[in-house]
Structures are given as structure tokens and as C-alpha cells.
């Protein structure tokens, strides 16, 4: 496997993407690219009325993620390393779940134009979990704009993510079943993950305690 210069971490809401990105970037002395989801002015309204505000929310995220990815593309990845807590294509996963057919058709035209310029990760880490675990985590962290999120919505996202990543082949991928791992509190878990990342030779591999 080629040297890991651009690592993207993905997973449904509550999977621990940002937390892992922070500890992994610290371990690797890498730069970090974090989503700016709290800056989206439509997000609170979206969770209160998804149908009404889905398109506004999605377009804002699309343009924000595009800007961040283009800024990252200017970095010399031959002499530096970046860990991101999202994959650009995740925007399209949410769009398919949240938008009407007419809205998605318009969204996809914009997305297709922007996606051409997006750098491809050397490795994608997909943090996989059951909706019950994720919904509990979401409730525990108590973010105000997530209070109206329904369990059914988390389940739909899990299904959409699993379907997408089942077919994903644009980058090598390490699928991590998060049950039984604590990458923040247990350094050995983080060392195990890093060892799997370095030794990954097949297009995809599963890391699990089960």
C-alpha cells in the first residue's frame, strides 16, 4: 500500500469520526480537516422540519465541504499528512436520504461538477455501528440541534451508509466495527488501528472485536 498522506474517516452521526480524527492526527503528527457543521445556519431548522429545509441544508454543506477540500488540495501532501473527519462523497449519501427526487436531480448536477476537483484519500476508515448504539451516543452528547433527531432517521442513514460503502472502491478502506473499541481512552486500541492501517494490502479489510 502506498504511503498514507490523506486519510478520511467516515461513519454515521455519532460514530466518533471527529474524536478519532483528532487522536489519530496527534499520533501521526498530521494536519486535521474537520467538518464545520455547527456553522450551517439551516441545521437546527432542518432537524425540526427536514422536508422544508433539506435542500438549503444540503447545498450549504456541499459548498462548505467543497471549499475545505479545495483548500486542502493546495497543501503539499508529499511533505505533509492530513486526517479528515469526513469523505466528500458523504454529502451525496445524505442528499439521497433527505431530498425529494426533484431536489436531488438538481443537487446531483451541482455535485457532479464540483466532485471532479476533489482529491482522493489514500485510505478511508469507515466506523460502522448499529443505529441503537449511535442513537444512544447522540442522545448522550446532547447537542441542541440534534434534540429532534428521530431513531428512524438514524436507521435510514445506517442503511444508506452500509449500502454505499458495500460498493465503494475509489480508495482502500478499513471497516471498523466500533463496538469494543475506545480509541480515546485506550492507546492500545489506537496502536492496533494504526497497525492495521499500515499493513492493509487488500482493497478492504474489517477490524472487529466480535
Angle separating helix axes 90-98 and 151-167, nearest 10 degrees: 130
Residue 115's pLDDT is: 95
C-alpha cell at 119: 482529491
The domains of the chain are located at 6-207
CA-based torsion, 60, 153, 151, 154: positive or negative: negative
Cα distance between the two ends of the chain: 26
Residue 210's pLDDT is: 67
The SS3 call for residue 60 is helix
Per-residue pLDDT of the chain (210 residues; tens, 9 = 90+): 568 899 999 999 999 999 999 999 999 999 999 998 889 999 999 988 999 999 999 999 999 999 999 888 777 656 689 999 999 999 999 999 999 999 999 999 999 999 998 989 999 999 999 999 999 999 998 888 888 899 999 999 999 999 999 999 999 999 999 998 999 999 999 999 999 998 887 889 999 886
Distance between CA 171 and CA 86 in Å, rounded? 14
- Structure pTM? 0.92
Domain 6-207 in CATH: superfamily?
A: P-loop containing nucleotide triphosphate hydrolases (3.40.50.300)
Cβ partners under 8 Å of residue 3, min gap 6: 122
Question: Known catalytic residues?
Answer: 85
The candidate with the shortest Cα–Cα distance to 158, out of 172, 140, 138, is 138
Amino acid at each position: 500500500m502506498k504511503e498514507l498522506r490523506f486519510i478520511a474517516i467516515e461513519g454515521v452521526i455519532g460514530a466518533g469520526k471527529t474524536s478519532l480524527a483528532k487522536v489519530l492526527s496527534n499520533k501521526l503528527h498530521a494536519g486535521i480537516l474537520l467538518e464545520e457543521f455547527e456553522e450551517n445556519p439551516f441545521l437546527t431548522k432542518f432537524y425540526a422540519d427536514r422536508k422544508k429545509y433539506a435542500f438549503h441544508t444540503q447545498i450549504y454543506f456541499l459548498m462548505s465541504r467543497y471549499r475545505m477540500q479545495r483548500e486542502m488540495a493546495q497543501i503539499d501532501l508529499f511533505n505533509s499528512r492530513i486526517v479528515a473527519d469526513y469523505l466528500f462523497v458523504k454529502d451525496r449519501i445524505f442528499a439521497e436520504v433527505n431530498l425529494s427526487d426533484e431536489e436531488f436531480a438538481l443537487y446531483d448536477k451541482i455535485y457532479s461538477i464540483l466532485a471532479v476537483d476533489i482529491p482522493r484519500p489514500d485510505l478511508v476508515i469507515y466506523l460502522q455501528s448499529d443505529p441503537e448504539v449511535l442513537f444512544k451516543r447522540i442522545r448522550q452528547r446532547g447537542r441542541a440541534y440534534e434534540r429532534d433527531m428521530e431513531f428512524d432517521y438514524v436507521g435510514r442513514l445506517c442503511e444508506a451508509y452500509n449500502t454505499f460503502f458495500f460498493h465503494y472502491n475509489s480508495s482502500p478502506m478499513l471497516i471498523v466495527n466500533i463496538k469494543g473499541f475506545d480509541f480515546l481512552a485506550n492507546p492500545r486500541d489506537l496502536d492496533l488501528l494504526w497497525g492495521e492501517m499500515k499493513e492493509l494490502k487488500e482493497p478492504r479489510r474489517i477490524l472487529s472485536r466480535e
